[in-house]
Amino acid sequence: MAFATRKWLVNLRNLNKYNKFSVSRSGSLLSWKHNSNTKIGIIEKRLLLLKPRWIHTTNIVNKTVAFKLSDIGEGIREVVIKEWFVKEGDKVQQFDNICEVQSDKAAVTITSRYDGVVTKLYHAVDETALVGQPLVDIELENSGDENVAPENKPDDAIKDSTKAENVNMQKVKVLTTPAVRRIAAQFKVDLSTVNATGKNGRLLKEDLLSHLNITADNSNDVPKSDLSVQAIPIPVNEASAKTEILLQDKIVPVTGFTKAMVKSMTEAMKIPHFVFSDEYDVTKLVKARESLKELVQKLNIKLTYMPVIIKAASLSLLQYPIINSSLDNACDNIIYKASHNIGVAMDTPNGLVVPVIKNVQTKSIIEIAKELNSLQEKGSKNQLGLNDLTGGTFTISNIGIVGGTYTKPVILPPQVSIGALGKIQVLPRFDSEGNVIKAHILSVSWSADHRVIDGVTMARFSNQLKEYLEEPYKLLLDL
Give the whole-angstrom CA distance, residue 451 versus residue 306: 29
Give the other-Cβ count within 10 Å of 42's Cβ.
10
Residue 178 preceded by cis peptide, ω within 30: no
Helix (H, G, I), strand (E, B) or coil at 122: coil
**Range list of β-strands (E), 290-380:** 325-327, 334-336, 342-344, 346-348, 351-353, 356-357
Beta-bridge partner residues of 415: 326
| Three-state secondary structure of 50-119 | CCCCCCCCCCCCCCEEEEECCCCCCCCCEEEEEEECCCCCCEECCCCEEEEEECCCEEEEEECCCCEEEE
Give the whole-angstrom CA distance, residue 99 versus residue 101: 6
Point out the catalytic residue in the list 71, 126, 454, 478: 454
Number of residues that this document lists for the chain: 479
CA atoms within 13 A on the CB side of 449: 23
Q: The dihedral of CA 6, 11, 16, 21: what is its sign?
A: negative
First CA to last CA distance, the chain: 144
User: What are the b/e assignments for 302-339, b being 16+ CB within 10 Å?
Assistant: ebebbbbbbbbbbbbbeebebbbbbbeeeeeeeeebee
Helix (H, G, I), strand (E, B) or coil at 433: coil
Spatial strand order of the sheet with 64-68 comes to 64-68, 134-140, 116-121, 91-92
Point out the catalytic residue in the list 211, 273, 440, 450: 450
In 3D space, the residue among 230, 268, 253, 273 whose CA is nearest the CA of residue 407 turns out to be 273
In sequence order, the 6+-apart residues with CB closer than 8 A to the CB of 401 are 347, 423
H/E run at residue 469: helix 455-470
Query: Is 450 a known active-site residue?
Result: yes
Give the whole-angstrom CA distance, residue 306 versus residue 342: 11
Q: Which residues belong to the active site? A: 450, 454
